[in-house]
Structure formats: C-alpha cells, structure tokens
Amino acid sequence: MANGWVASDSTPNNFGDKQGETSLVSVAIAVEDMDEFETSYFEKVEQVLGDDNLNPFPIVKGSQFNRTVADSHRKSKRGELVEELLSIPSVETIHVTETYIEPRWIELFTEDDTKDTSRLSSKQFKKQKLSQYYNLVAIWKYLTYGESRATDTRWNVLTDSFSGKRTPLWEEIGELSDELRVIPYGDKTYPLLSMSDLLLTYLKEEVYPLFYGKIYDHLNEIAEEMV
C-alpha cells in the first residue's frame, strides 16, 4: 500500500468586531511519504525547539507548545517551526476549507419530513453540530476535489477523534479512503496531526480575517520564499 497520507484539523473562529458573525476553518495536509515526513518532522522540532526543553514531548501539540515556550518568543518560534514543517519535501498539498455563518436562526430538518423541525442560532449550530466533525470537511473536500488537482490525492486518511452523529459525509470518506485511522489525542501522538494543529494556531495569529482566500495568499507567500 502507498505510504501517502492526508490528515486534518479544524478550529472555530469569531470576528471580534462583528457581532454574531462566526466561522469554522479546517486544513487537510497531504504528504507523499509518511516515513520521510516523520523523520523530517522530528529533525525540524529539534532544530527549532531543541533549547526549549520540550523532551519528553517530541510531538508538539499547540497547548503544550504554549506551556513550554517562553512568552517572549512564542509567536516567533511557532512561526519558525510551522514554516520549517511546510518546507519538508514530502508535504504535497495544503487544502483549506472555511464555512462562514451569518448571525441568524438555522432550521434543522430530519430525514423524516413528518417530524417537527428545530431551530438553533448560528453560534449554537456551530458549537453543537458543525464543529463536532468539521475536521472531516477538509478531508472530504480533498478526496472529492477531482482531476483538476495539481498534485496526487492521497487515499490513506488520518484524523483526530471527533464526535457527532453518523453523516453522509463520514460515510463517503469511509468509502473513498483506502485506509482510515481515527486516533484519540492524535495531535499528541502523530506528527502529521500535530502539524495540522500547529498550522491552524499559526494561521489564527498571522491571517485576519481568517478567510480561505487570505489563508491561501499567506501560504503562497511562504511557498514563494522557499523557492
């Protein structure tokens, strides 16, 4: 079986000066060779954070990074680490999805249209429904992107644990993928899930507003600097 994998993470996002407006952002990271990526990941972590006493935590989760790295250089260190991880040759694709939700009431329907509908505010809908499995949305979009993708699609899927009910999206990912692993606390135990977590934290610091167009512009700027 091919050793190419795709993993994802998601984050909620609020627009502080715009009352009630909210969104969710998810990134899927595809690597051509997982073994090569993991070797490079550990080298990059040691290179950037070797003096910050992260051991015995060579796999870096965003919250653990915040507790370990001093405030005075936390932002610069995170930026340096993420940009080094993006430079790993086996990192092939970064696929971004973003769902913007206006402040409104959302009607929820069941498959049986004879039953009563229910209503949630946009914030409730994001927190109670969509955010529970939004990390899967980037995976699904990545797998269904079609032949127009400039790079290969990796069919082995790695996700952090998630909640929420069974959905057609989840079922389609299961049908499309060659291998599917759902890992509790995956961003603490798998380098590719750790990178997804770190990348989202970095983007929330560097890009505003956190719309997918601005995210891609920022990632393209990084890519151009690497050439």
3-state helix, strand, coil in the chain (%, to 5): 45, 20, 35
Q: Which domain holds residue 81?
A: 5-222
DSSP string of 99-164, one letter each residue? EEE-SSEEEE--SSTTSPPEEEEHHHHHHHTGGGTTHHHHHHHHHTS-TT-SSPPP-EEEEE---S
Question: What is the structure's pLDDT at 10?
Answer: 92
Q: What is the pLDDT of residues 119-138, one digit of tens each?
A: 888 888 888 888 888 999 99
Q: What are the structure tokens assigned to 41, written together?
A: 């990941």
Rounded to the nearest integer, the mean pLDDT of the chain is 86
Would you say 85 and 198 are in contact if contact means Cβ atoms under 8 Å apart?
yes
In a domain, 227, yes or no: no
Domains identified in the chain, total number: 1
Q: What is the pLDDT of residues 6-21, one digit of tens each?
A: 999 999 887 765 566 7
The residues near 177 (Cβ < 8 Å, ≥ 6 apart) are: 143, 155, 156, 157
In a domain, 187, yes or no: yes
Q: What is the pLDDT of residues 167-179, one digit of tens each?
A: 888 899 999 999 9
Can you give the pTM of this predicted structure? 0.89
Q: What is the pLDDT of residues 48-93, one digit of tens each?
A: 887 766 555 578 877 777 777 878 888 899 999 999 999 999 999 9
Q: Residue 183: give its domain's CATH number.
A: 3.30.420
Q: What are phi and psi of 120, to 5 degrees?
A: -130, 150
In a domain, 117, yes or no: yes
